[in-house]
Structure 1
Amino acid sequence: MVTTTAEPGAKPPKSEAFTTRPTQSTKIKDSKSYTTFRVFNGIAIILVCAVTLYPFLNIVAESFSGEGYIRAGMVNIIPRGFNLTTFEVVMSDPMFWRNYANTVIYTVVATAIAMILTTTFAYALAKKHLKGRAFFIGIAVFTMFFNGGLIPNYVLINSLGMTNTIWAIVIPNAISIFNLLVMKAFFENFSTELEEAAAIDGLTTYGILWKVVIPLSKAVIATMVLFYAVQFWNSWFQAFLYLDRRELYPVTVYLRNLLAGATGTGDLGGEPGESTQIAANVRAVTMLLTTLPIICLYPFLQKYFVRGIMLGSVKQ
C-alpha cells in the first residue's frame, strides 16, 4: 500500500465531488404566451363574476328601493328611495312564514331520508363481491337518462295517496344518481383492512357501516348533505305539481306565485289569478328572504362543494 504525505502548509487537493460553488437564485420568467393566458384568464374570471353578481346585487337594491324608482328603471345596484316598508309587508304575512316553515321541514326530512338511502345503497354497490352488482348499477344509471314521464308520475303519486302530503316531495327525489355514484366511488377507495378488522371483532355489515365507515367518511357525508339540502330547498316543481293547499306550499311556490304576478300585496300567498299585479319590490324582498339562508351558509361550506367535485376522482 502506497501512502503519500502532504507537505507542511500545503492545501489539500480539491475534489470535484465535494466542491461547492456559490449559486445565484434565478427567477424563471414566464413565457409571453403563458403571461397572455394568465391575463386573459383573469379578465374572463372577472367578467364571469360580474355577470354572476349583478342580478343578485340588483335584487338587493330593489328590495330596499321605492316602487316608483323600480318601475322607472332607475335602480341598478344602488338603492333609490330607500325604504323598509316592503320588508314589513312581506314579513307580516302569516302565510309567508307558514310556507317558510314548510320549506325547513321538507328540507330536513327529505335530506335525512335521502342520506340514509343513498349511503346504504352506495355502500352496497361499492362491494365488488355483491351478486348482481352490475345489474343494480345499470338500473341506477338507466334512471339518469330515462323516466316514466310527467303524467305517469302524477298518476302514480295520486294512486298512492301521496298528494297534498310531504311524501309527494320526499319520496320521488329520495336518491340522486349523481350523488349515489360519487359516494360509491368514495366507498370503493375505502380501506378494506379496517373493515376486515372490524369483522374479526364481531361487527356485522351494518355495524361496520355505522361504526367504522361513516365516522371516517365525514367529507363525503358533509358534501352530500349540502348537495341534497340545496336541492330540496330550491325545489318548487314537485310541490307545485302535487300540492293543492296553500298552507302546504314551500316558500319557493310562494315565490313562484309572486314572480308570476299571481298575487297582490294585501294577500301575498294567494292562488294564481286572484288579484292584480304585485309591486316589484315585494318580489325582490321575497326572493332575498328566500335565498338568504343559502347565501349565509355558503361561504362557510364552500370547501365542501369544491371537495365534492373531487371525491372519488383520485385513487387513494
Structure 2
Amino acid sequence: MVEDRTFGGRLFSIVNFALLAVIALVTVLPFVHVVAGSFTTNAEIAAKKFILVPTVWSTEAYRFIFSTPTIFRAMAVSIGVTLVGTLFSMLITSLMAYGLSRRDLDGRGGLMFLVVFTMLFSGGMIPTFLVVKELGLIDTYAALILPSAITAFNMIILKNFFQNIPEGLEESAKIDGCHDFGILFRIVLPLSMPAIATISLFYAVTYWNTYMNAILYLNKSEMWPIQVLLRQIVVLASGMDYSSNLDSAVPPPEQSVKMAVIVVATLPILLVYPFLQKHFAKGAMLGSIKG
C-alpha cells in the first residue's frame, strides 16, 4: 500500500507540474509575443503573425513613441496622479474602514448599508460629470483623483482586516492615554501592512490606468496622462484622422507601435508588483474572512 501511495503521489506531482507548466506558458507567451513584436519590423509581424524572438531587431516603435517630449510630460502626469491619488485614497479609506470596524460605533449598520448600496447602484456617467463640473474640477488633476478616491470593495476588505486585530491591543493603548488617531496610525496600520500593500496596489493600478476620467474631464492635451496619450499615438500610427501636439519626425511603424504602447503602459506596474506580491495574497485573503 505504501509503494502504491508513493507511486500515486509521484504521478500526481508529475501531472500537476505539467498542467501548471502549460498554464504558465499560456499566460506568459502572449506577453512575450507583445514584447518581441515591439522590437521587430512591421514586415516580420505581417509575415509571421506570432513572434517569440525577432529575426530582425528594431527599435523604431520606441523611437517613435519617445521622439517627442510630450510622452515624458504625460508619464510625469500619470506618476504624479498615481502617487498622490494612492496616498489620498489610502488615507480616507483607512479612516473610514477603521471607524466602521469599531463595533461600538453608533449607526454602524446603516453606514455599512449605504456603502454596500454603492456597490450595487451608482449615479452613472452623466450625473457624475455634472457633479464634477459644478464643483469646478474640469481641467484639473483633482478630477482624476476625487471621483474614484475611495472604492467600497477596498474599504470593506480593509475594514474586515482591522476587525481581525485583537481588541486588547486597542484597550491597552487607551489605558496608556492614546487617542483614536494614535491607535490607528501607531498600532492598527503598522499591524495591517499586508492589507495596506494590497489595497495600495489596487488603487495604484486604477490611477495608473486612468483613461475615461481623463477623456471626460480634461480638455487640455498637455494635461493628458500616459494612457490617453498612448491611445493617441496608436491612432496616429494607424493613419487615422488625428490632431494633437505630437511633433514626432519619426515615421510610425503601425503594428509594432501598438505592441510597444502595451509594454510602455504595463511595465511600470510590473516593476512595482514584485515588491508587493508577498503581501498581496495574504492581505486579500485575511481581509475577506470576516464580514
TM superposition score normalised by structure 2: 0.87
SS in 2 for 1:214: helix
Q: Partners in 1 of 2:236 and 2:260 — Cα distance?
A: 16
Residue 36 of structure 2 corresponds to 61
Residue 79 of structure 2 corresponds to 104
- The answer to whether the 8 Å contact 2:230/2:261 transfers is yes
Residue 270 of structure 1 corresponds to 244
In the alignment, structure 1 segments of 5+ residues that lack a partner are: 1-25
Tell whether 2:284 aligns with 1:309: yes
Q: Partners in 2 of 1:70 and 1:150 — Cα distance?
A: 39
In the TM superposition, residue 235 of structure 1 has moved relative to its aligned partner by 2.6
Q: Which letter does structure 2 place at the counterpart of 1:144?
A: M
SS in 2 for 1:172: helix
In the TM superposition, residue 51 of structure 1 has moved relative to its aligned partner by 2.6
Residue 248 of structure 2 corresponds to none
Cα distance change on mapping 1:291 and 1:269 into 2, 3 Å: farther
Residue 29 of structure 1 corresponds to 5
Alignment coverage as a number of residue pairs:
284
Q: Which letter does structure 1 place at the counterpart of 2:125?
A: L
In the TM superposition, residue 218 of structure 1 has moved relative to its aligned partner by 1.8
- The answer to whether the 8 Å contact 2:100/2:112 transfers is yes
Q: Partners in 2 of 1:239 and 1:158 — Cα distance?
A: 13
TM superposition score normalised by structure 1: 0.80
Higher relative contact order (CA 8 A, sep 6+): 2
Of 123-132 and 54-63, deviating more is 54-63
SS in 2 for 1:244: coil
Matches within 5 A, 1:1-316: 26=2, 29=5, 42-259=17-234, 261-262=235-236, 270=244, 279-314=254-289
Q: Partners in 2 of 1:242 and 1:278 — Cα distance?
A: 31
Cα distance change on mapping 1:285 and 1:313 into 2, 3 Å: closer
In the TM superposition, residue 72 of structure 1 has moved relative to its aligned partner by 3.2
- The answer to whether the 8 Å contact 1:263/1:270 transfers is no
SS in 2 for 1:291: helix
- The answer to whether the 8 Å contact 1:262/1:270 transfers is no
Q: Which letter does structure 2 place at the counterpart of 1:226?
A: L
Cα distance change on mapping 1:300 and 1:112 into 2, 3 Å: closer
| The structure with more radius of gyration | 1
In the alignment, structure 2 segments of 5+ residues that lack a partner are: 246-250
Q: Partners in 2 of 1:63 and 1:269 — Cα distance?
A: 24
Cα distance change on mapping 1:128 and 1:84 into 2, 3 Å: same
**Greater share of helix:** 2
- The answer to whether the 8 Å contact 2:41/2:253 transfers is no
Q: Partners in 2 of 1:134 and 1:31 — Cα distance?
A: 55
Of 138-147 and 186-195, deviating more is 186-195
Q: Partners in 2 of 1:298 and 1:28 — Cα distance?
A: 42
In the TM superposition, residue 258 of structure 1 has moved relative to its aligned partner by 3.3
Q: Partners in 2 of 1:192 and 1:269 — Cα distance?
A: 59
Q: Partners in 1 of 2:264 and 2:252 — Cα distance?
A: 20
In the TM superposition, residue 249 of structure 1 has moved relative to its aligned partner by 0.9
SS in 2 for 1:79: coil
Q: Which letter does structure 2 place at the counterpart of 1:105?
A: G
Q: Partners in 1 of 2:79 and 2:111 — Cα distance?
A: 33
Q: Partners in 1 of 2:69 and 2:32 — Cα distance?
A: 27
Cα distance change on mapping 1:174 and 1:297 into 2, 3 Å: same
Q: Which letter does structure 2 place at the counterpart of 1:29?
A: R
Cα distance change on mapping 1:309 and 1:175 into 2, 3 Å: same
Cα distance change on mapping 1:298 and 1:27 into 2, 3 Å: farther
Of 164-173 and 75-84, deviating more is 75-84
